[in-house]
Amino acid sequence: MALTMRQIDDFIDAALDRLSSEHGVTISRFYVDLRSYQQRITPRLVEQCVGICEARGLYAERQGDGLYVVVDLNTCFLNPSQALVFSTALAFTRSQYGNHV
Give burial (CB, 10 Å; 0-12/13-18/19+) of 71: buried
pLDDT for the residue 12: 98
- Please give the average per-residue pLDDT across 28-46, as a whole number: 94
Q: What is the pLDDT of residues 43-52, one digit of tens each?
A: 999 999 999 9
Q: What is the pLDDT of residues 65-95, one digit of tens each?
A: 999 999 999 999 999 999 999 999 888 888 8
What is the value of pTM for the model shown? 0.90
Q: Which CATH architecture has domain 5-97?
A: 2-Layer Sandwich (3.30)
Mean pLDDT, the chain, integer:
92
At CB < 8 A and 24+ separation, what contacts does 81-88 make? 82/9, 82/12, 82/13, 82/16, 85/13, 85/16, 86/16, 86/19
Quote the CA–CA distance of 96 and 90 in Å, as a whole number: 10
Q: How many CB atoms lie within 10 A of CB 97?
A: 14
Residue 24: band (very low, low, confident or very high) from pLDDT cuts 50, 70, 90: confident
